[in-house]
Every structure is written in C-alpha cells, then in structure tokens.
C-alpha cells in the first residue's frame, strides 16, 4: 500500500468518525464506526473499546469488531489492568508479549483467536482515563509514525465524543428532573387549593366560636386557658392555609414602575421591632443609582419580608443582617442581596429549601421560600442561595431592569 493510499484511508476514517459525531447523539453508533473503520485501515483482525462505568469504576466492553464471542464474554477490568501509570495517558502502548505483559488478561483466549500483537491507547478527558481503544493484529509488525498518530487522533476524537454525550446525558437528566418537579408542583398546587378551600370554612367557624366562648368563661380558669390554645392553634392553621392558597394561586403580578430600594426600606420598617427585640444589627448598602423597576410592589415586599425573617431566625442575639442592592449595567439587571452571619444551611438541605413544605424551623410551614421563588420567577427574575454551615447564608435576587418604553411589550 502506497503512502498516498494510506493517507487516503486515514482521511476516510476521520471523515466517517466526524460525520458520526455530528449526525447522532448516540455514543454507541460512533464507537461502532471507530472500531470497524480503525481495524480496517490498519489491516487488523479486530478492535475493541472499553468505557468506564462510573458507578462500578470498571471498564466495560462497549464496542467490538472482528473478535469471537468467547473472548468478548469476559467481564470488565480495573484501571490498573489497563494503565500502568498516569504518565501513559494518551500514549500508544504496543503489546508484543501476550503471555507476560500485565495488561493482557486471558492470553490463551487471545492466542486461540489468532492474536499475536495488540495496540492500546487510552481515552482521556482532563487527565482522567475514561476508556481504552485496543487494536488486535494476527502478526507482529512495525507501526509507522503516521499510523501511531492516526491511532492517537482517533482516541482523542473518541474522548471528545464521550465528553459530549456525557454532557448531553447530564443535561437531559437535569431537564427531566425539572420537568418532573414542575408536574409535581402543578399537581400539588391544585391539590393544595382544593384542600385549603375545604378546610378554611371550618377553621373560620372554630375560630369564631372559640373566640366568643373565651369572652364568656371565668377569667384565669382552665377552660379559658384551653380556649386560648384552641384559638392560637386555629390561627396557626389559618396561616398555613393562607400560605397554601398563595402558593396555589400563582397570582399574576400587578406591576408598576417602582424603586426597589423603597420596597426594601418598607420591609425593614415592618420588621423593625423584631430586629430591635433580638438586638440584631442591620447594615444597608442600597445603591443610589438603582433605576425604577416594573414589578408588583406588594409581592416583592412579601419576598423581602420572607428573606429577612429567615435571616432573623438564623442569627443569634446581636447577630448581623446585611442588605444591599446594585445595578448591573452589563446584564441590564438589578441585584438585591439579603445576607446573615447565622448558622448557615446544611449542604444536604440547600437543594430543598425552595421546595414547598420543606422547613428546618420547628414551627415553619415550608411555604415562605417556595412562594418567594415563584414570585421572583413570575417577574422573569432569579432567586439563588449561597450558604455554608456556621458561615451564614446569602440570598441573591436578580431582576431584569425593564425600561419604561418596554412595559407595553412585556409578554403576558
């Protein structure tokens, strides 16, 4: 075979591999092309690809060409069996001694298959081995530099495919999870609304009659104390029901041009006594360059109050809560932060705090943050949390800074 013919063969293999990479999202189709075409252009008996199973940490056969079933039925292998040292990543390893090379498992099966030489090259992503290509030959021979470069380039292409497919699978899994959560929340909202309406009327009756009775019973007696407990617990139930209704209602924001700093000042004023009684300090850093936003003042104030109360419950006496706002001209958005130096949130709870009914507080309903998250999303914004146990918590709100002439163009 002439040099030009060999190069032409390499070119056709690369073309087929790249075409497979861009035309399909299924990793299997790509690696089937790799083993088939690579074995053919190198005049090899066959080829095999092993890929790391991240759950078992073992390398499993995922594609093979030209090999017998008896050999292919052998199980997965460990990294140590395929890679002697990390420095061998991306290097071609030529095996001529099938009987004594530590990489070779089941040498008798290979010999019976007519194999007399093997060529290995690892598939690596960011210095981590994710797979291996092995070429099987029926006779020992020298490989040209061009052939070795071809094998290494094919390995690089395979590693890129694995990385791309892995990323796509992660994205698909993430979107599937989000879709499931949306369905669950939608069903939960409908169920919550139905339950809330059914329970609200009986609760109102209980609260009315117990309040009337408490005015007629002797003062200081056990009956009065019992009625006070009934009234208190009924009011707590009504608060939970109201939260359920707010969560289920998905009320469309009644937006108007408003200064978000004024809303924060109002929320701080409402909670002033709470902060004063607990000796909690408030540090404000509200930017004077903040533009007015197109938003629902009442709903945003509800979000701020929820975040401030969470911060208040997280800090000890004499704790510190910081609020700040800033304009991000580059992203045309406004950021508002509420941070505390309190107990922080456990790593396992971070992903759950915006879920309805999840609460770390003994008497919490678990609806405050879920409702707040929904309100910010309805304003086309984003609400994120950053926290470490013992290091405090920081909630960050990002809202789009819509200019006045774009108000009428906002999508419903």
The per-residue pLDDT for 396 is 94
Spatial CA neighbour of 380 closest among 253, 193, 224:
253
d(CA 345, CA 393): 7
Backbone angles phi, psi at 402, to 5 degrees: -80, 135
d(CA 379, CA 178): 19
The per-residue pLDDT for 57 is 82
- Note the pLDDT tens digit of each residue in 213-263: 888 888 877 788 888 888 888 887 777 677 666 655 556 667 888 899 999
The per-residue pLDDT for 252 is 67
Q: Is 398 in the same domain as 305?
A: yes
Q: Give the tokens for residue 146.
A: 């061009």
CA 299 vs CA 251, 290, 376, 407, 411: distances in Å: 10, 19, 9, 18, 19
Q: Is 286 in the same domain as 368?
A: yes
Low-confidence residues of the chain, pLDDT below 70?
1-26, 70-88, 90, 174, 178-179, 181-193, 196-197, 240, 243-253, 356-367, 402-412
> Where residue 215 sits, what CATH number does that domain have?
1.10.287.130
The per-residue pLDDT for 290 is 84
Among 249, 269, 286, where does a domain finish?
249
Q: Is 279 in the same domain as 392?
A: yes
Q: Beta strand 58-65 with 46-53: parallel, antiparallel or unpaired? A: antiparallel
What residues have CB less than 8 Å from 65, skipping those under 6 apart?
Answer: 32, 35, 36, 39, 46, 47, 48
Host domain of residue 27: 3-171
Phi-psi region of 328 (alpha: psi -120 to 50; beta: other; left: phi over 0): beta
User: The pTM is what?
Assistant: 0.45
Work out how many domains the chain is built from and give that number.
3
Q: Is 267 in the same domain as 235?
A: no
Q: Is 328 in the same domain as 370?
A: yes
Q: Is 202 in the same domain as 265?
A: no
Q: Is 19 in the same domain as 156?
A: yes
d(CA 338, CA 188): 29
d(CA 200, CA 238): 7
The per-residue pLDDT for 407 is 41
Among 215, 249, 283, where does a domain finish?
249
Among 136, 171, 206, where does a domain finish?
171
Spatial CA neighbour of 363 closest among 233, 210, 202:
233
């Amino acid at each position: 075979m002439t040099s030009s013919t060999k190069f032409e063969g390499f070119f056709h293999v690369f073309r087929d591999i790249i075409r497979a990479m861009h035309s399909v999202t299924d990793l299997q189709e790509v690696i089937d092309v790799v083993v088939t075409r690579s074995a053919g252009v190198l005049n090899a008996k066959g080829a095999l690809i092993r890929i790391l199973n991240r759950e078992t940490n073992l390398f499993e056969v995922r594609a093979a060409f030209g090999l017998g079933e008896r050999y292919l039925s052998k199980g997965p292998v460990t990294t140590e069996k395929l890679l002697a040292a990390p420095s061998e990543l991306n290097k071609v390893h030529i095996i001529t001694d099938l009987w004594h090379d530590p990489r070779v498992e089941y040498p008798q099966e290979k010999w019976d298959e007519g194999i007399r030489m093997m060529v290995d090259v690892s598939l690596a992503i960011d210095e981590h081995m994710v797979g291996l290509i092995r070429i099987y030959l029926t006779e020992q021979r020298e490989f040209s530099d061009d052939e070795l470069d071809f094998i290494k380039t094919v390995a690089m292409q395979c590693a890129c495919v694995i990385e791309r497919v892995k990323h796509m699978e992660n994205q698909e899994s993430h979107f599937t999870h989000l879709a499931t959560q949306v369905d669950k929340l939608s069903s939960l909202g409908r169920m919550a609304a139905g339950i809330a309406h059914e329970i609200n009327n009986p609760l109102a009756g209980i609260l009315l009659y117990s309040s009337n009775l408490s005015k007629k019973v002797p003062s200081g007696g056990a009956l009065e104390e019992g009625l006070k407990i009934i009234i208190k617990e009924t009011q707590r139930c009504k608060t939970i029901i109201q939260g359920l209704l707010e969560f289920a209602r998905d009320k469309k924001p009644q937006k108007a041009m408003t200064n978000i700093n004024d809303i924060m000042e109002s929320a701080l004023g409402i909670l002033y006594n709470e902060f004063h009684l607990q000796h909690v300090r408030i540090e404000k850093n509200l930017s004077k360059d903040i533009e007015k936003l197109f938003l629902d003042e009442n709903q945003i104030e509800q979000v701020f109050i929820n975040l401030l109360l969470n911060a208040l419950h997280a800090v000890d006496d004499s704790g510190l809560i910081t609020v700040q706002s800033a304009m991000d001209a580059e992203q045309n958005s406004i950021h508002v932060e509420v941070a505390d130096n309190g107990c922080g949130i456990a790593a396992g709870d971070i992903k759950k705090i915006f879920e309805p009914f999840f609460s770390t507080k003994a008497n919490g309903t678990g609806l405050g943050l879920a409702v707040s998250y929904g309100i910010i999303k309805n304003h086309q914004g984003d609400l994120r949390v950053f926290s470490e146990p013992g290091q405090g918590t920081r909630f960050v709100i990002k809202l789009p800074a819509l200019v006045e002439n774009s108000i009428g163009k906002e999508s419903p």
